[in-house]
Amino acid sequence: MAKVTTIPATISRFTATPINEKKKRRTAAYARVSTDSEEQLTSYSAQVDYYTNYIKSRDDWEFVSVYTDEGITGTNTKHREGFKRMVADALAGKIDLIVTKSVSRFARNTVDSLTTVRQLKEKGVEIYFEKENIWTLDSKGELLITIMSSLAQEESRSISENCTWGQRKRFADGKVTVPFKRFLGYDRGPDGNLVLNKDEAVIIRRIYSMFLQGMTPHGIAARLTADGIKSPGGKDKWNAGAVRSILTNEKYKGDALLQKSYTVDFLTKKKKVNEGEIPQYYVEGNHEAIIQPEVFELVQRELARRKGSTGKPSGVHIYSNKIKCGQCDSWYGSKVWHSKTKYRKCVWRCNRKFDNERHCTTPHFTEAEIQAMFIVVVNQLISQKESIIAALEVSLETAFDTTALEVELTEVQGEIMVVSDRIQSCIYENAHVALDQEEYQKRYGALSDRFDKAKARFEEIEDAIGSKQSRRAAIETFLNNLRDANIVDNFEVSLWCGLLDFVTVYSRDNVVFTFRNGTEIRYSG
C-alpha cells in the first residue's frame, strides 16, 4: 500500500501570508448612528473613542482609522460616505481587518451586507462583528452573517413601520408637519405648528398678485430672480415649478392637506405621490392664512382656465389669456411689426389667424385701442353697480350654497369606506377559504361595481362643490372690486384684472366684454 505523507499548510488561504507571521494586522473600525439627535451623537462619540482605544491596546493590531457616518440610515449604503471610503481603502490594500459593533451597525440590508463581505473576503480583508462574535473569514461566518443581516433587515422594517404608523397617527389627529427649511412664508412655532413669517409672507402675496395680473409662473419666476429674492430652497434662481407649487399649496390659505406622498420601500426610501393608495387628511383653519380663501380659490380657477385654454398664451402680459377670437376660439397674443425700424409697432392678434386654410378675419388691436374700449364698457358697468351689487348679494348665499352637497359627500364617503372594507374582506376570505369561484367572482363584481359608482359620484360632488366655491370666490372678488370702483378716465390694471373675465372679438365693431359676474357688455365702436 502506498505511503501518504501530509504536508501542513504554511500560508493562510484567506490572507495569503505565512501562518506563523508575526506582522501586525492593519485594523480599522466602523461606527454609525442613524439619527442626529443629541443622545445618538453622544453614542456616536463614545463609539469612536472606544474603538480607537480598543485597537491601539492590541499588540497584534496596527491602528488605521475609525470610519464614521452620522445621522445616516443603515438600510442601504448609497449615501454612507464613510462606509464607502472604508471599503475603497480596504479593497486598495490599506486595511487587513475591520472591527464594528454589530451586523446592524454595518448594514440593515441583507444584500448590501453580504455583497460587501464577499468583496472584502476576496481581497483577504476580514470583518469582526463584536456583538455577535463573528469573524468573516471563519467557515461559519457567512452563514451567521446571512442570518443576522436578515434579522437586522426585519428589525429595520419593524422600525420603519412603527415610524410610519406614528406619522400617520399624527396626520389622522390633524397634526401638521412641513419641511420648514424649504417652505416660504412660515416658521416652526414652539408647538411645531406653522407660524407666519411676515417678511416672507410679503413675497407670497406678491406672487399671487402677479399671477392674477396676468403673469405666468415662468414670468413670475423671472421677475423674482431679477429682483434678487431667494427661492424656497435658498437659491438665487427661481423656476416656474416653485412658483406653481406656491400657487397651488393650500397651506397659504390656512388649511393643510396631509399625506400627499408616502414611502413605497423602507430599504430604498423611495417616495410616491399619494394617488389614493392610502388615506389623506384635510385640516381646515390649522394656522394663520397668508392668502384669503376666496383669493386662493380664484387663483385655482384661473390656473384651470389657463390650462384648458386653446392657443398659445403669450407669456407675462395682463392681456394674455384675456382676449379671445370669436371665430376660432383661440387666444390673442402679442405680435411685433417692423421690429427693427422706426415704424415698430406692437399689436394683439389671434394666435391661430393663419393656421387654417380659411384665415380668421378678426382684427388686430393695439394696446391703446384695447384700453380705450375697456374704459368705455367698464364705465357702463360701474354706472349700474348699485343694482348689480344688490342682485348679486341676494343670490350669493343661495346660488352658491354647498351645504346639501357636503352632506351628500359625507354619505358617499361613508359608502366608499364600507364597500372598500367589504372588498378587502372578500379577497381575504377567498385567499384563506376554499370558496366557490363563480360565486366569489359574482360577489366581488357586485362590490366592485358598487365601489366604482360611489367613487364616480364622490368625484362628481367634489367637482360641483369646487366649482361653486370657485365661482363664489370669483363673484366675491368681483363685488369687492366693483364696490371700490368709480367712473374712470384712464385705464386701470386693477379693474382689468379684478372685474374682467375675458373679451371676445368678432369684428372691430363687435367686441363683447364678459365680466366675472357673467355680465356681458358689447362694444360697438
pLDDT in tens, 161-192: 545 444 545 545 545 565 556 788 888 877 77
3-state secondary structure of 137: coil
Comparing 74-83, 89-98, 337-346, the range with the smallest average pLDDT is 74-83
Check if the beta carbon of residue 516 is closer than 8 Å to that of residue 500: yes
Torsions phi, psi of 134, nearest 5? -110, 130
Tens digit of each residue's pLDDT (9 = 90 or more) over 315-352: 456 787 789 999 888 889 888 887 777 777 889 999 88
Check if the beta carbon of residue 334 is closer than 8 Å to that of residue 313: no
Tens digit of each residue's pLDDT (9 = 90 or more) over 228-275: 998 888 888 999 889 998 998 888 888 877 765 545 444 445 666 655
Angle at which helix 437-484 crosses helix 293-307, to 10 degrees, equals 110
Q: How far apart are CA 299 and CA 324, in angstroms?
A: 20
Comparing 32-36, 196-200, 351-355, 456-460, the range with the smallest average pLDDT is 32-36
3-state secondary structure of 322: coil
Pairing type for strands 186-188 and 194-196 reads antiparallel
- Specify the higher pLDDT residue, 308 or 476: 476
Torsions phi, psi of 104, nearest 5? -70, -30
Average pLDDT over residues 52-75: 79
Supply the pLDDT for residue 180: 58
Supply the pLDDT for residue 369: 93
- 347: cell is 399689436
Q: Which amino acid is at 444?
A: Y
Instruction: Give me the domains of the chain, ranges plus CATH numbers.
Output: 25-163 (3.40.50.1390), 180-291 (3.90.1750.20), 323-523 (no CATH)
With a pLDDT cut of 90, the percent of the chain lying above it is 18
Supply the pLDDT for residue 158: 56
Q: How far apart are CA 380 and CA 383, in angstroms?
A: 5
Work out the pLDDT band at 97, boundaries 50, 70, 90: very high
Check if the beta carbon of residue 502 is closer than 8 Å to that of residue 521: no
Q: How far apart are CA 418 and CA 234, in angstroms?
A: 46
Q: Which amino acid is at 212?
A: L
Q: How far apart are CA 103 and CA 113, in angstroms?
A: 8
Residues 6+ apart with CB under 8 A from 356: 328
Q: Which residues pair with 345 in a beta bridge?
A: 337
Supply the pLDDT for residue 210: 83
Residue entry with cell 380657477? 301
Q: How far apart are CA 375 and CA 493, in angstroms?
A: 11
Supply the pLDDT for residue 146: 62
Q: What is the CA radius of gyration of the chain?
A: 35
Pairing type for strands 281-283 and 261-263 reads unpaired
